[in-house]
Amino acid sequence: MKNSIQITLIVAATAIIIALMGIYVYNQQMPSSNTVSVTGESSINAVPDLVTVYFSVETEAKTSQESKDKNSEIVDKLTNNLIQWGFEKKDIVTENYNIYPDYSWVNNQQVLKGYKTVHSIKVELSADKTEKIGNVIDAGADAGALISYINFELSPMKQSEYKAQALENAGRDAKTKAAAIAKGLGKNVGSIVSITDSSFDYYPWRLYSSAEAGAGKLDSTGIESAKTAITNIQPGEKEITARISVVYKLK
């Protein structure tokens, strides 16, 4: 009986200790009610430093090897054409490459037609050289490639630069808001409890899309459509945004 009571007391004491530890951890992790939560926002103007032309080289054949070989011929010709226009191989980047079986339905049965190879390629050039886009389009047309779209973009280095600037400004905005709220409540801003949901919104700026233009293959119609879309276009400032959520202690 005595042993049973001792065991019960030990279990009860252990449960109390665990509960107290849980409350302590919860209080450490959860912000006190004496806090303020704010969202810092920032909008900055970014100037794109790249103009990028995206091609899709698509070929079909009875065998995968034949489809692959036909695709390689077009890509090689496109590459050689671009090199002749003064581009370097580093300016020509493979985005995606895929070979897959191509089926059709005949009398409710799936029938293998052959194989399709799709090679997605992008050609990058400095945004201050938009006059060369026409040469890139001509290189694709001569090779038999398909044009997908043309963008103004930020290089990875510029993305990092603008992201750091935008998030820094968003942090200042959050601190300013928190200070204003605290002052209105007769308090001061204390230490940071948490920072969450940081985001940086950047999307390439579309100059031309074959889907929107109703063109794809670089025949005479597609060439003129693409060239018209980029005529006299120069990179201008575009707005990008950043947001962060910050919880501050009040004192």
Nearest to 170 by CA among 196, 150, 144, 149: 196
Output the average pLDDT for the chain. Answer: 84
Burial of 35 (0-12, 13-18, 19+ CB in 10 A): middle
Q: Are residues 22 and 68 in the same domain?
A: no
DSSP secondary structure letter of residue 155: -
- pLDDT beyond 50 at 176: yes
Cβ within 8 Å of residue 39, ≥6 positions away: 174, 177, 243, 244, 245, 246
At residue 131, the pLDDT reads 84
Band of pLDDT at residue 19, cut at 50, 70 and 90 = low
> pTM of the prediction?
0.72
Instruction: Give me the amino acid identity at 68.
Output: K
Distance CA 205, CA 235 (A): 10
Runs of H (alpha helix) within 151-200: 156-184
Decide if 196 is inside a domain: no
Nearest to 208 by CA among 199, 198, 200, 218: 218
Decide which of 115 and 221 is more confident: 115
Decide if 246 is inside a domain: no
Q: Could you give the C-alpha distances from 170 to 124, 192, 197, 246, 248, in angstroms and in order?
A: 31, 15, 12, 10, 15
Q: Are residues 128 and 223 in the same domain?
A: yes
Helical packing angle, 133-143 and 220-230, nearest 10°: 170
DSSP secondary structure letter of residue 81: H
Decide if 35 is inside a domain: no
Q: Is 215 helix (H, G, I), strand (E, B) or coil?
A: coil
Decide if 37 is inside a domain: no
Distance CA 91, CA 88 (A): 5
Q: Are residues 130 and 81 in the same domain?
A: yes
Decide if 195 is inside a domain: no
Angle in degrees, CA 102, 121, 151, rounded to 5: 120
pLDDT per residue as tens digits for the range 122-154: 999 998 888 888 899 889 989 999 888 899 999
At residue 121, the pLDDT reads 96
At residue 110, the pLDDT reads 87
pLDDT per residue as tens digits for the range 188-243: 999 999 998 778 888 888 888 877 665 545 554 556 677 776 666 777 788 889 99
User: What's the alpha-carbon Rg for the chain, to the nearest Å?
Assistant: 30
Domain that holds residue 108: 49-153+206-236
Band of pLDDT at residue 1, cut at 50, 70 and 90 = low
Say which residue the tokens 């704010």 belong to: 38
At residue 206, the pLDDT reads 87
At residue 31, the pLDDT reads 46
- pLDDT beyond 60 at 23: no
Q: Are residues 108 and 138 in the same domain?
A: yes
Decide if 41 is inside a domain: no
- pLDDT beyond 80 at 37: yes
pLDDT per residue as tens digits for the range 148-164: 889 999 999 999 999 99
Angle in degrees, CA 147, 148, 149, rounded to 5: 105
- pLDDT beyond 60 at 53: yes
Q: Are residues 18 and 73 in the same domain?
A: no
Q: What is the CATH number of the domain that holds 60?
A: 3.30.70.2970
Q: Do the Cβ atoms of 55 and 123 come closer than 8 Å? A: yes
Q: Are residues 19 and 100 in the same domain?
A: no
Decide if 164 is inside a domain: no
- Top mean pLDDT of 101-110, 169-178, 188-197 is at 169-178
Decide if 219 is inside a domain: yes
Can you read off the two tokens belonging to residue 213?
């233009």
Q: Are residues 70 and 144 in the same domain?
A: yes
Mean pLDDT of 114-118: 96
